[in-house]
Structure 1
């Protein structure tokens, strides 16, 4: 009886191939996990940096397009009347208009 399988490989060669495949899969999973971890860390750092020096809140648009900054946010950031601030607008919901026709 021969120690070779159908392909002519010896059992030790097959075992080495399986071990190499397992190592490759483990390395691939490790790399993907590191990628996910780094992506999460970058997102978390960006979010943390954004919220440490800025405020995030919801407000309604008033007549004339005016919005107001809540008092708690003004106090936390030391914003006073006349200060220049930057506003980034992200619409969350549109007011439902009456669609009744006269």
Structure 2
């Protein structure tokens, strides 16, 4: 395989895999929450810590704005008690590229 061929096919495949990984992560979170909700009536089997960790995370889509800025939606900021000036950690997974669009 030449460098030219690999560059053209590898990037779209990699982006598809990253998008799939992001979707899988959201699905796994939903499934874990569903299981935890079902297990909440039974004895604590050490899942309370995991549930607590999940309640401090959020997954959402947002657009990249000028100067590379992203916005955290109001609902997520309120749910996670995030305020202006707080430091947060992000994981970026490109979802869709609309390079032909002029809307920002």
TM-score class, shorter-chain normalisation, is 0.3 to 0.5
Larger radius of gyration: 1
Which one has more relative contact order, counting CA pairs under 8 Å at least 6 apart? 2
Q: TM-score, normalised by structure 1?
A: 0.46
Q: TM-score, normalised by structure 2?
A: 0.45
